[in-house]
Amino acid sequence: MRAVVFENFKTFPSLKDVEKPTPGPGEVLLKVAGAGACHSDVAIFEDFDENNPAGLKPEFTLGHENSGWVEEVGEGVTGFEKGDAYLVYGPIGCGRCKACSRGQDTYCENAATNPYLATGLGRDGGMAEYMTVPARNLVPLGEADPINAAPLSDAALTPYHAIKLSLGHLDGGGKFALVIGLGGLGLIAVQILKALTGATIIATDMKEEAMAEAEKLGAITVPGGEDQVAKIREITGGRGVDAAFDFVGVTPTIGAAMGAMAMQGRLTVVGIAGQPHSWSFYTAPYEVELTSTYWGTIEELHEVAQMYRNGQIVPQVTRYTMDQALEAYQALVDGKISGRAVVVP
Ligand code: NAD
Ligand code: ZN
């Protein structure tokens, strides 16, 4: 079968023929319906090296945002019907520790000794015709379209987790949320904020088309530039935003968000650019929280799947065939994707 393989650091991935996997004990073989191309993959093949913070080692099949149909089950697996559609919960922890037992494999206590982080991150992922997944990592989709659902596994789950942890800052009337970076994750973040809060959503991106999309979803947009922070403050009546989500994570975006925060607000850096931000007692608004985030829990993926079935999350998907999979990654590198590129093998 064909697969998009991460062969080495600082190397663009390859479309290769690899062996079709067989499901081991406790695993399910999925015929892949969709595989989202996430910007984190670009960081892996462009920026990471042997000393990468995630401990990733080539080679493996990319694709950590997947959906598919049950093809075959491994030893000991029951309760699955061939042809039923599932979302893949990517993170794979030890399955035994306290974090894994609450469905939060992202913070597995045995991460240091686990063989990989997730499907598509160390273990072969879904940019392939077939993939194997531990049965406990599957979330049923029901009758909903599985191809457009693929981005839910990361592009929706990650902002959903971050927004849920910020809800305490957005409840009550007259609140403001800020979304920076309106790509795969950011455009879904706007939809989740709309569905879960009554906050006024302010959004920004370097790309005009991305801001136009966010406006269609109900956000007020403010372009970048020197007066950006002042404009955001003006919209909030001077008070600043109660919660902000930075899907870029460079020094200027963290700085802009921090400058736009209300006292006691919460800024979550989701983007993995990894740039620093300098803080001092006098420059940050009082009691502002600055935090990071990583993916979400499998319970939250069930909730995201329900929001998709309810029509509250509609991923903006451009479909690519397997032959076009590398084009999809190249377009992502070039900043030419609007919403999410999904490879349909
Ligand atoms: P994307 O390429 O689809 O979207 C990024 C958007 O940010 C684009 O629209 C781009 O124009 C915009 N942008 C870039 N630089 C900007 C700037 N300086 N100011 C304003 N807008 C800017 O990427 P994505 O797949 O949505 O991922 C977003 C980020 O989230 C990436 O860094 C990715 O690695 C990260 N990510 C983090 C997690 C996590 O668990 N923390 C999970 C998935 C993705
Ligand atoms: Zn991702």
Residue 249 pLDDT: 98
3-state secondary structure at position 26: coil
Q: How far, in whole angstroms, is CA 328 from its chain's centroid?
A: 17
Query: Which residue has its alpha carbon closest to ligand 1 atom 7?
Result: 181
DSSP 55-80: ---S-EE---SEEEEEEEE-TT--S-
Instruction: For the chain, count helices (H), then strands (E).
Output: 10, 18
pLDDT digits (tens, 9 = 90+) for 211-244: 999 999 999 999 999 999 999 999 999 999 999 9
339 lines ligand 1 (CB under 6 A): no
41 lines ligand 1 (CB under 6 A): no
Residue 71 pLDDT: 98
- Find the mean pLDDT for residues 65-94: 98
| Residue 87 · residue 305 · CB < 8 Å | yes
Residues with CB under 5 A from ligand 2 (ion): 38, 40, 154
* Cα–Cα separations (whole angstroms), residue 146 to 94, 180, 280, 311, 345: 28, 28, 47, 14, 13
User: What's the mean per-residue pLDDT of the chain?
Assistant: 98
Q: What is the DSSP letter of 91?
A: B
Residue 163 pLDDT: 98
Q: Do domains 2-154+297-344 and 157-292 have the same CATH topology?
A: no
Instruction: Say how far apart CA 198 and CA 298 lie, in whole Å.
Output: 26
pLDDT digits (tens, 9 = 90+) for 261-320: 999 999 999 999 999 999 999 999 999 999 999 999 999 999 999 999 999 999 999 999
The pLDDT-based confidence of 200 (bands split at 50, 70, 90) is very high
Cα(42) to centroid(ligand 2), Å: 10
Number of Cβ within 10 Å of residue 233's Cβ equals 18
Instruction: Say how far apart CA 208 and CA 23 lie, in whole Å.
Output: 45
- Find the mean pLDDT for residues 63-79: 98
Q: Can you give the pTM of this predicted structure?
A: 0.98
| Residue 201 · residue 219 · CB < 8 Å | yes
In the numeric block, the tokens 């023929």 are attached to: 17
Cα(70) to centroid(ligand 1), Å: 31
Residue 34 pLDDT: 98
Tell which CATH architecture fits domain 2-154+297-344: Alpha-Beta Complex (3.90)
- Going from N- to C-terminal start, the domains of the chain cover 2-154+297-344, 157-292
- Find the mean pLDDT for residues 35-43: 98
Compute the 3-state secondary structure of the chain and give helix, strand, coil in percent, each to the nearest 5: 30, 25, 45
Cα(39) to centroid(ligand 1), Å: 6
Homologous superfamily (CATH) for 157-292: NAD(P)-binding Rossmann-like Domain (3.40.50.720)
